[in-house]
Structure 1
Amino acid sequence: MRESMTKQICTWLSLLTLMLTMGFALPTFALEQEQTYIIKKGDTLWGISERFINDPYYWPNLWANNPDITNPHLIYPGDEIRIFGGRMVLVPTYPSGKVAEQQETPVTETAPAAKVKPAVVEKTTLKTGGGSEGFIHAGEKPLGIIVDSVDNRSLLTEGDTVFLKMNDPAVVSVGDTYGLYERGEKVIHPTTGESYGNMMHDLGYLQVTSLQGKIVTAKIGKVFREVERGAELYDYVPPVMEISLKKAKNELEGHILATQAEKLTQGQHDVVFVDLGLEDGLNVGNMLYITRPRTVTEKSLLTPDTQLPDDLLGAAVIIESRAKTAAALIVKSVKTIYRGDQVLSITE
């Protein structure tokens, strides 16, 4: 064994000598350069995340990994953030609860680097992947239903021709497009017990091809699952593939009402539905924190009535907003998310 290892070492030394003789350069390893940024008035965690590591959704990690940030709205001018290796660490200079001076502070860096461009959060965009995949029905009447198909099949799919029963055939024209939905489970508020209606699952869409009196014929377009007779028709909403992120105008608090496809656990890229909507001032592009109350454990040295900061679970962006509810795409999750978890609007 020892003789074999000696031969192997000699072989490596011979190869190294040959490389040096032939002029091969040995690899050099650059030391990781650290940048330091001083927070200025108007900065946000998600804006800073986008500017320095090209990931506006990194900020939940920044918050979760820094216990000094008990409230993500409260980062102060003068606080220091260190950026290295695609990571960011906050080094607060103000004690909790102290109001910092609202003044401009220059950017400082430990190594020469290009000037940092000012963050313009309003122009940050998000690729959504297609849409909400449904909505919470709040009493709206369907525009019509599928009553049959030309070949009397029970399960329908893309390309099939179907007959429709429309509530008002007089307003229907050839070429009109309608969204197809399946009525699902009832949606009950997880804390108040209030009924919000039914979950409507997006099946796809169809397009009207001909009109003969009250008989409306249509062809099914792209579908996401099998379609059956009785599928309900609503106004077609084209999928929004990209939206602009923007701060909410009001401080809003709510809960996750329902989840996509009745999943028990949620994470990044899942869609959830919240009990806030247009009537509350929640609009497409608004960002939400997802949190959960943190409780004192039995083994803790704190008293049971101690108020601990909420546990950050992730962040979401509103991709569709209706009167009382909205669909939100989870863009970052640092912990498992459940129905009933809290949501807070991002206003800063």
Structure 2
Amino acid sequence: MDGPMKRIFLPLTLGVALVAQAGAALADVITLKPGHPDSYVVKKGDTLWDISAHFLNDPWRWPSLWGNNPQIANPHLIYPGDRLSLVFVDGQPRLVRKPVVRKSPEGRIQTKGDAVPAIDLALIQPYLIQNRVVDADWFEEQPLVLGGETQSRHHIVGQTVYVDGVLPVGQKVGFYSEGRDFSRHESGEDLGQEVILTSTGQVTASGDVSSVKLMSSFRETKAGDRMLVLDDTSLLPVYFMPKAAEVTEPAYVLASGIDVREMGKLDVVYIDRGQRDGVTPGDVFAIVREGDEVVLGHNGVPIPSTDRSTYDRLMSNISDSRTYKLPGNYHGNLMVFKVFDNTSLGLIMVNERSVRVNDRLETPQPPLLGE
């Protein structure tokens, strides 16, 4: 079939039930892409997702493609120049690695370079470092920037700012400004406040008002910003092992990373589930657009929601039996890379249609027959 195969998603409760009935065997099924190569030489700039996309319809299933393979015990240790060959083990496709080597008086030397990452970390690095979602009341209790050594309203790298609070000399800190307030799509439950890193600094003098020298800057720091202790783990490179997210309650796209209406491949999004809901980095969600609700007019012609206002008077006389909920449509996949208490950040890895706020998130379905 030419072009991407259309996937239709049933309402959440039924969809989850059908996936559960499919059994563990289907859950681990991986389907090779038509026209896949028999081998591939890893290039500089490749990611594990990119490589798997040459072979699989669902690239996030690469742990299965490279699983149970002593030659690729850790797929994060694939290097540019390695040749990956497709073989079958017990009827299942597997990739085996043949490192590119050269002969010299010193012996056989493997190609040097950085290991291939799961995804392009440059796409998410700003979010790994800069974005947090915290309790709004807690944030208001954190040390406050009172001003700086200059009369300027904004302060930049190399300048000193003054903070309300006794701080340990030498401590590394970050300054954050308020972002958006998040709430759950259906219930309105408060999910926390987005806070955005403006700069980092180091405490140089301690007292009732402490001095902090700004060491790096992402945007200008100003009076009224709050100070938080930096989490050093957020500054380290992160590798992800993707797995299907388990969705047992309705979950949705909460917001875009940069506050735009529509999102696509390699855009960052917030979702309305986090650590308290069991979400972990590497979880993969299917993104589904809710199906429209149509009604039948007295002439038997279906009326879509976009035309509903024209029929407000008519709607009051239509029974529920003449109202139909259409199935949802698959719009893509996202993978979670950072988790907060009630929310998470994810990267859209595949999209067949645009993604919007309030699109539904589901457990990825097993491959359709023929895919």
- The TM-score range, normalised by the shorter chain, is 0.5 to 0.7
Indicate the SS of the match to 1:243. Answer: coil
Give the letter for the 1:272 counterpart: V
Query: Do the aligned partners of residues 288 and 197 (structure 1) sit closer, same or farther apart at CA in structure 2, a change above 3 Å counting?
Result: same
Q: Which residue matches 2:189? A: 194
Query: Do the aligned partners of residues 293 and 119 (structure 1) sit closer, same or farther apart at CA in structure 2, a change above 3 Å counting?
Result: farther
Q: Which residue matches 2:356? A: 338
Indicate the SS of the match to 2:35. Answer: strand
Structure 1 position 321, deviation (Å): 1.0
Residue in structure 1 matching 2:5, options 66, 89, 93: 66
Q: Which residue matches 1:244? A: 240
Q: Which residue matches 1:128? A: 121
Q: Residues 242-270 of structure 1, C-alpha deviation per residue, up to 9 Å, x if partnerless? A: 32123257334411222223222222332
1 or 2, which has the higher helix percentage? 2
Residue in structure 2 matching 1:292, options 289, 292, 303: 289
Residue in structure 1 matching 2:226, options 232, 238, 243: 232
Indicate the SS of the match to 2:243. Answer: coil
Q: Residues 67-120 of structure 1, C-alpha deviation per residue, up to 9 Å, x if partnerless? A: 367689767869774225887797xxxxxxxxxxxxxxxxxxxxxx94437369
Instruction: Give the Cα–Cα distance (whole angstroms) in 2 for the partners of residues 202 and 230 of structure 1.
Output: 13
Structure 1 position 173, deviation (Å): 2.2
CA contact (8 A) 1:284 1:319 kept: yes
Whether 2:41 is the aligned partner of 1:83: answer no
The structure 1 segments of at least 4 consecutive aligned residues displaced by more than 6 Å after TM superposition are 85-90
Q: Which residue matches 1:324? A: 342
Structure 1 position 278, deviation (Å): 0.9
Q: Which residue matches 2:169? A: 174
Q: Which residue matches 2:298? A: none
Query: Do the aligned partners of residues 75 and 246 (structure 1) sit closer, same or farther apart at CA in structure 2, a change above 3 Å counting?
Result: closer
Query: Do the aligned partners of residues 150 and 81 (structure 1) sit closer, same or farther apart at CA in structure 2, a change above 3 Å counting?
Result: closer
Instruction: Give the Cα–Cα distance (whole angstroms) in 2 for the partners of residues 223 and 84 of structure 1.
Output: 45
CA contact (8 A) 1:137 1:197 kept: yes
CA contact (8 A) 1:248 1:282 kept: no
Indicate the SS of the match to 1:205. Answer: strand
Q: Which residue matches 2:329? A: 311
Indicate the SS of the match to 2:175. Answer: strand
Whether 2:223 is the aligned partner of 1:204: answer no
Give the letter for the 1:66 counterpart: M
Instruction: Give the Cα–Cα distance (whole angstroms) in 2 for the partners of residues 274 and 78 of structure 1.
Output: 27
Indicate the SS of the match to 1:153. Answer: coil
Give the letter for the 1:247 counterpart: K
Indicate the SS of the match to 1:261. Answer: coil
Q: Which structure: larger Rg?
A: 1
Instruction: Give the Cα–Cα distance (whole angstroms) in 1 for the partners of residues 34 and 205 of structure 2.
Output: 64
Q: How does 1:1-150 map to 2 (within 5 A)?
A: 65-67=4-6, 81-84=33-36, 114-116=85-87, 118=94, 125-129=118-122, 130-132=125-127, 133-139=130-136, 140-141=138-139, 142-150=141-149
Whether 2:178 is the aligned partner of 1:183: answer yes
CA contact (8 A) 2:265 2:351 kept: yes
Query: Do the aligned partners of residues 334 and 249 (structure 1) sit closer, same or farther apart at CA in structure 2, a change above 3 Å counting?
Result: closer
Whether 2:154 is the aligned partner of 1:160: answer no
Indicate the SS of the match to 1:279. Answer: helix
Query: Do the aligned partners of residues 83 and 134 (structure 1) sit closer, same or farther apart at CA in structure 2, a change above 3 Å counting?
Result: same
Instruction: Give the Cα–Cα distance (whole angstroms) in 1 for the partners of residues 254 and 29 of structure 2.
Output: 36
Indicate the SS of the match to 2:334. Answer: strand
CA contact (8 A) 2:163 2:209 kept: yes
CA contact (8 A) 1:257 1:340 kept: yes
Query: Do the aligned partners of residues 269 and 80 (structure 1) sit closer, same or farther apart at CA in structure 2, a change above 3 Å counting?
Result: closer
Residue in structure 2 matching 1:218, options 208, 212, 219: 212
- Length, aligned pairs only: 254
Give the letter for the 1:136 counterpart: V
Instruction: Give the Cα–Cα distance (whole angstroms) in 2 for the partners of residues 311 and 228 of structure 1.
Output: 45
Q: RMSD across aligned C-alpha pairs, in angstroms?
A: 3.7
Structure 1 position 149, deviation (Å): 0.5
Q: Which residue matches 1:35? A: none
Taking structure 2 as the reference length, what is the TM-score of the superposition?
Answer: 0.57
Q: Which residue matches 1:25? A: none
| Structure 1: gaps of 5 or more residues | 1-61, 91-112
CA contact (8 A) 1:249 1:281 kept: no
Query: Do the aligned partners of residues 233 and 331 (structure 1) sit closer, same or farther apart at CA in structure 2, a change above 3 Å counting?
Result: farther
Instruction: Give the Cα–Cα distance (whole angstroms) in 2 for the partners of residues 332 and 288 of structure 1.
Output: 11
Structure 1 position 146, deviation (Å): 1.3
Indicate the SS of the match to 1:305. Answer: strand
Q: Which residue matches 1:57? A: none
